[in-house]
Each structure stands twice: as structure tokens, then as C-alpha cells.
């Protein structure tokens, strides 16, 4: 049987994974070839995470795995067994999060396709650095492509969200 | 695009991983961080029948100090070493090279050893491995062998590891006192692959003379490589900018000779990168200069 497998391309191989997505526990059998981004979208039904370039360049598929921003198009769902995944849907609890409100206030999204990924990167930045410099913010979002080229308002929004958090104000507005 | 179909197996131990490699041979690929392999799968440039996932294999995780050196295991992610105080203080070239790899997202998942095993000609770590003269530990069911970086690094995307061999670890020896190291590259945007890059080590006799010189280029040819003639020219010279510039000319001339269409831009860029990396390494070797 092994001999046959070596010559015939293996098909429909599946593997069982247990993951936590936005605090909910999931257990699924998934195809080995399924990318994490497609698992999130197609199996979990969470459509906020975008599949863009599918080669790790554009950053649209960025999610937070075990506290770190990663490209979900460069991770197999099979590899995510046991991991804690947070997507853009996990940012908001009641209404939008402070970071999301800041993006809205600063008109930081145009078509919006890239924003779920940028929000996840920005969230990990703010989690690790309460008062990031502009250079640090730019470094962080440099791994993202916004084809609307709306970068300045994005940096403004992240900076304002950090300041609002530091100043302890209730709203970013 | 999406990856082609394949079978997937998580390796429980290093021995398990090499047993799987022995069974599936050339149709199997090791999956560590996946930051090079998964894009190749998505683009259908790689089409392995079997993937052996070592990303969570316990005896392949992390790094440790061995003597005064650093043993980096196959599944150690860039992000683990990036902020480590030992790496920052004693192996700054590793820290600096990691900072040049992609973006945070890639470093959160990618591995040093994976980059070496992949041997992309534009990657930083093959050049760092050549300059640090690291030792590669290759494991298969046939046994374990240790080989030098010069033996391991092949031409583009090839290495001396056989299809059934796992690159289990890479050992970075301690840097002797009186030496300095540096890595410099130029890319048009942060996170992009470099247009050209140089890694180097300089040794000083404490009185301003160069006693040791190791110099490797990357993203300058079919693979990262040392420049032995240029290295030899520096020995015994005074560590100063004019000497560094002369070494830069030699390296740039050598690289121009292998280019189908030598470009004045690349020549100037390589000369600058060599000069700048030597200047920084010298400053690192002789902090008072």
C-alpha cells in the first residue's frame, strides 16, 4: 500500500485538530492541505480574515496565534492543533474595540480589505508596547499592503489609540 | 493558490522524524516554520507527497548554550532568539540578521535552521553560517554526521543534506575576544529580500592591525559564498576605511566577473556594503576606535 502512495498523489488526507478561536473551542477533521486562513473562513465561518496574496506578502490574512501576529496563509490548519487563535471578530466585545473606533475616527479604512490584518498586527503592537514611537508603528504595519494607499491615517489611528489608552480616556473620540 | 494534496505527519521526536524521512525518501519534506515551504506549496512550486511537521517536536525546540557557543535546534523560531539576552550580548550578528528577515509575522513562525536548509540565495543566514563557521548536525536512520557550513551550503536551494537527513541543529561557536562581526544589506523596502548583503568578521591584534577576516556575500550570486582572496588581502593591514574600501573593490570585482551583465549599480552597492560591514565589524572588535 505504501508503494502505491509513493507513486499516486495522496488525496483527501485528513487530520484532527483542536483549536480555540476567539475563545471558542473547536474540534474538526480537516484536509491536511487546508490553510489556516481557509479553516477560519470556511470551517469556522469567520469571514473577517481576508485571503489576499496567499504567499505571505500582503498581510491581509494576519491573525494572532498564541499572542503573536502570523500570516494565516503561511500556516496549515493541521499545524495549528492546540493553538489559541484570535481573529478580527475577537477584537470587539460590546461594540467596536478602542483600536477599531480609532480607525473609524481617523478614516483609516477605504475599501477595508487589508484592515482586519492590520488591526491584528496593531493589536499585538499595542499589547507589547503601550507607547510605540511612530517608527515602531510604521515598522509594524510595513508588513501590510493597502492598495488604497491609506497608510498615513492608519498610522494616525494606531498612534491615537495608544495615546487614548495611556491617558485612560474612555473614548478615542 | 492553495497547496496540492499531501499526507501530513507530526513528528513526536527527532528519531520519529528521520524514520519518516527514511520511509518516504525524496517525496517527503520537513516542515518547520513553513515560512518558505508553505508559499512554495501555495504557488505549486513544491509538490511533496509527504510533509513531516517538526514545528512542535519537543527535542527539536529552542536553543541552548553549549560551552561558550550556541546550539540552535531545528524548530527554534526567529522570535525566540531575537529578544534573548544571551543572543543579544554574545551573538549580535544573529540578532541583527534576524532583524532583517521579513517582518514580525514571518519571524514569529519562521526558523533559523529552516532558512539554512532552504538555502535561498537571498537569505541572510547562509552567509552568517559561513562567517561564523557553524557546524551542521545532520541526522538520519543511518546515523549522525557533522559537517561545516562550507560543506553544507550548496548552490541555490541545495545543500549537502541527503533526502533522508534532518538538519537537527546548528552550532555557533563562541566568537573569540578581539573579533567583531557585522551584517549589512540593502533592500528597497523593509522586509523585502535584499538586493545585496554582506556578513563579515574581523579580528584585531589590539594595536590596529587586522589579524582575521571572514567575508561572505548573499543575494549576489547563485548562493551565499565566502570571498577568500579579498579576505586574505586584509590580513596584516591597518583597520581603516581606505583598506576596507580596497577589500570592497576586490569583492565587487569578483562578483561582477560572475554576472552575465555586470551592473555599475551593483558594483557600487557591493563595494559600499563591504566597506560599511567591515567598518562596523572593526568598531565591534575595537570599541575604542
* A115 found inside a domain: yes
Q: Which of A38, A70, A90 delimits the end of a domain?
A: A90
Do A74 and A134 fall into the same domain?
no
Do B148 and B194 fall into the same domain?
no
Give the pLDDT confidence score for residue A2 in this predicted structure: 42
Do B196 and B232 fall into the same domain?
yes
Decide if A78 and B8 are in contact by the 8 Å CB cutoff.
yes
Do B185 and B259 fall into the same domain?
yes
Which residue in A has a C-alpha nearest to residue B53's C-alpha?
A: A79
Confidence band of B251 (pLDDT split at 50, 70, 90): very high
Decide if B104 and A121 are in contact by the 8 Å CB cutoff.
yes
Do B133 and B154 fall into the same domain?
yes
How many CB atoms are located within 10 Å of the residue A31 CB? 22
Q: Which of A40, A69, A90 delimits the end of a domain?
A: A90
Give the pLDDT confidence score for residue A9 in this predicted structure: 53
Distance of CA B33 to the CA centre of its chain: 16
**What is the C-alpha separation between A140 and A157, in angstroms, rounded?**
13
Do B151 and B91 fall into the same domain?
yes
Do B246 and B205 fall into the same domain?
yes
Decide if A54 and B1 are in contact by the 8 Å CB cutoff.
yes
Q: What is the pTM of this model?
A: 0.93
First to last CA, chain B: 53
User: Looking at the predicted structure, is the pLDDT value of residue A169 above 60?
Assistant: no
* A24 found inside a domain: yes
| B219-230 as b/e: b if 16+ CB within 10 A | bbbebbbbbeeb
User: Looking at the predicted structure, is the pLDDT value of residue A8 above 80?
Assistant: no
Contact B127, B196 (CB under 8 A): no
User: Looking at the predicted structure, is the pLDDT value of residue B130 above 50?
Assistant: yes
Q: What does the pLDDT average to over B141-164?
A: 97
Percent of chain B at pLDDT exceeding 70: 99
User: Looking at the predicted structure, is the pLDDT value of residue B103 above 80?
Assistant: yes
User: Looking at the predicted structure, is the pLDDT value of residue A113 above 60?
Assistant: yes
User: Looking at the predicted structure, is the pLDDT value of residue A11 above 60?
Assistant: no
Do A68 and A8 fall into the same domain?
yes
Cβ burial of A4 (10 Å; 0-12, 13-18, 19+) is: exposed
Do A106 and A127 fall into the same domain?
yes
For B29-70, the pLDDT digits (tens) are: 999 999 999 999 999 999 999 999 999 999 999 999 999 999
Do B95 and B156 fall into the same domain?
yes
CATH number at residue A70: 3.10.20.30
Give the pLDDT confidence score for residue B258 in this predicted structure: 74
Give the pLDDT confidence score for residue A13 in this predicted structure: 87
Into how many domains does chain A fold? Answer: 2
User: Looking at the predicted structure, is the pLDDT value of residue B120 above 80?
Assistant: yes
Q: Which of A90, A114, A131 delimits the end of a domain?
A: A90
Do A13 and A57 fall into the same domain?
yes
Contact B163, B141 (CB under 8 A): no
* A173 found inside a domain: no
- Does ipTM exceed 0.85? yes
A92, A86, A74: which is closest to A40 by C-alpha?
Answer: A86
Do B64 and B165 fall into the same domain?
yes
* B1 found inside a domain: no
Do A81 and A106 fall into the same domain?
no
Confidence band of A20 (pLDDT split at 50, 70, 90): very high
* A7 found inside a domain: yes
* B207 found inside a domain: yes
Do A120 and A85 fall into the same domain?
no
User: Looking at the predicted structure, is the pLDDT value of residue B83 above 90?
Assistant: no
Give the pLDDT confidence score for residue A12 in this predicted structure: 60
CATH number at residue A129: 1.10.150.120
Do B195 and B254 fall into the same domain?
yes
Give the pLDDT confidence score for residue B79 in this predicted structure: 95
Average predicted confidence (pLDDT) for chain B: 95
- Chain A residue numbers touching B3 (CB-CB < 8 A): 33, 35, 76
Q: What is the β-pairing status of strands B50-53 and B28-31?
A: parallel
Do A52 and A111 fall into the same domain?
no
Do A75 and A106 fall into the same domain?
no
User: Looking at the predicted structure, is the pLDDT value of residue B281 above 90?
Assistant: yes
Decide if A32 and B6 are in contact by the 8 Å CB cutoff.
yes
* B2 found inside a domain: no
Q: What does the pLDDT average to over A12-24?
A: 93
User: Looking at the predicted structure, is the pLDDT value of residue A43 above 50?
Assistant: yes
- Chain A residue numbers touching B49 (CB-CB < 8 A): 5-6, 9-10
Q: What does the pLDDT average to over B111-139?
A: 97
Do A9 and A71 fall into the same domain?
yes
Print the domain residue range for B199. 181-285
CATH number at residue B21: 3.30.43.10
Interface of B with A (CB under 8 A): 1-8, 10, 23-24, 27, 31, 34-35, 38-39, 41-43, 49-51, 53, 55-56, 79, 102-106, 108-109, 189-191
For B29-39, the pLDDT digits (tens) are: 999 999 999 99
* A116 found inside a domain: yes
Do A83 and A107 fall into the same domain?
no
- Chain B residue numbers touching A55 (CB-CB < 8 A): 39, 42-43
Give the pLDDT confidence score for residue B233 in this predicted structure: 98
Q: What is the β-pairing status of strands B179-186 and B196-204?
A: antiparallel
User: C-alpha grid cell for residue B29?
Assistant: 519534506
Q: Beta strands of A24-86 (E only): which ranges?
A: 24-31, 62-65, 68-71, 84-86
| A7-23 as b/e: b if 16+ CB within 10 A | eeebeebebebebebbe
Beta-carbon contacts below 8 Å between A and B? 109
Into how many domains does chain B fold? Answer: 3
Nearest-Cα distance to chain B for A170, in Å, is 30
CATH number at residue B163: 3.30.465.10
Print the domain residue range for A113. 98-167
Do A107 and A78 fall into the same domain?
no
Q: Which of B20, B38, B53 delimits the end of a domain?
A: B53
Given A56, A65, A82, which is nearest B106 (Cβ)?
A: A56
Do B274 and B245 fall into the same domain?
yes
Do A142 and A71 fall into the same domain?
no
Give the pLDDT confidence score for residue B57 in this predicted structure: 97
User: C-alpha grid cell for residue A38?
Assistant: 481557509
Amino acid at each position: 500500500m505504501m508503494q502505491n502512495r509513493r507513486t499516486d498523489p495522496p488525496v483527501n488526507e485528513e487530520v484532527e485538530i483542536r483549536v480555540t478561536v476567539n475563545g471558542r473551542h473547536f474540534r474538526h477533521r480537516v484536509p491536511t492541505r487546508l490553510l489556516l486562513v481557509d479553516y477560519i473562513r470556511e470551517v469556522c465561518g469567520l469571514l473577517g480574515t481576508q485571503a489576499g496574496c496567499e504567499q505571505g506578502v500582503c498581510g491581509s490574512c494576519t491573525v494572532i496565534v498564541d499572542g503573536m501576529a502570523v500570516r494565516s496563509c503561511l500556516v496549515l490548519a493541521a499545524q495549528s492543533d492546540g493553538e489559541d487563535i484570535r481573529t478580527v471578530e475577537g477584537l470587539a466585545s460590546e461594540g467596536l474595540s478602542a483600536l477599531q473606533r480609532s480607525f473609524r475616527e481617523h478614516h483609516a479604512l477605504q475599501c477595508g480589505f487589508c484592515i482586519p490584518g492590520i488591526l491584528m498586527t496593531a493589536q499585538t503592537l499595542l499589547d507589547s508596547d503601550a507607547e510605540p514611537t511612530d517608527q515602531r508603528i510604521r515598522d509594524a504595519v510595513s508588513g501590510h499592503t493597502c492598495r488604497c494607499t491609506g497608510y498615513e491615517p492608519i498610522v494616525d489611528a494606531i498612534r491615537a489609540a495608544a495615546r487614548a489608552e495611556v491617558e485612560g480616556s474612555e473614548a478615542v473620540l | 493558490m492553495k497547496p496540492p494534496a499531501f499526507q501530513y505527519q507530526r513528528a513526536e521526536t527527532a528519531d520519529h522524524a528521520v524514520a519518516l524521512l527514511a520511509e518516504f525518501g525524496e517525496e517527503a519534506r520537513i516542515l518547520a516554520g513553513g515560512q518558505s515551504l508553505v508559499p512554495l506549496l501555495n504557488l505549486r512550486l513544491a509538490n511533496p507527497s509527504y510533509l513531516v511537521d517538526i514545528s512542535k517536536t519537543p527535542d527539536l525546540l529552542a536553543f541552548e548554550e553549549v560551552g561558550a557557543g550556541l546550539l540552535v535546534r531545528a524548530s527554534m523560531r526567529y522570535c525566540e532568539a531575537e529578544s534573548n539576552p544571551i543572543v543579544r550580548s554574545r551573538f549580535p550578528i544573529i540578532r541583527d540578521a534576524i532583524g532583517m528577515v521579513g517582518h514580525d509575522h514571518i519571524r514569529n513562525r519562521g526558523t533559523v535552521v529552516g532558512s539554512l536548509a532552504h538555502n535561498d540565495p537571498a537569505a541572510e543566514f547562509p552567509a552568517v553560517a559561513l562567517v561564523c563557521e557553524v557546524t551542521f548536525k545532520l541526522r538520519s536512520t543511518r546515523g549522525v554526521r557533522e559537517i561545516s557550513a562550507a560543506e553544507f551550503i550548496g548552490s541555490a536551494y541545495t545543500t549537502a543534506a541527503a533526502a533522508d537527513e534532518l538538519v537537527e541543529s546548528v552550532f555557533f561557536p563562541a566568537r573569540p575576544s578581539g573579533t567583531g562581526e557585522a551584517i549589512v544589506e540593502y533592500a528597497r523596502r523593509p522586509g523585502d529580500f535584499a538586493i545585496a548583503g554582506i556578513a563579515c568578521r574581523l579580528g584585531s591584534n589590539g594595536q590596529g592591525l587586522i589579524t582575521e577576516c571572514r567575508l561572505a556575500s548573499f543575494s549576489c550570486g547563485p548562493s551565499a559564498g565566502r570571498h577568500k582572496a579579498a579576505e586574505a588581502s586584509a590580513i596584516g593591514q591597518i583597520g581603516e576605511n581606505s583598506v576596507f574600501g580596497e577589500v570592497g573593490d576586490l569583492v565587487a570585482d569578483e562578483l561582477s566577473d560572475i554576472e552575465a551583465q555586470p551592473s555599475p549599480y551593483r558594483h557600487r552597492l557591493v563595494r559600499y556594503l563591504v566597506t560599511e560591514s567591515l567598518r562596523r565589524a572593526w568598531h565591534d572588535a575595537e570599541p575604542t576606535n
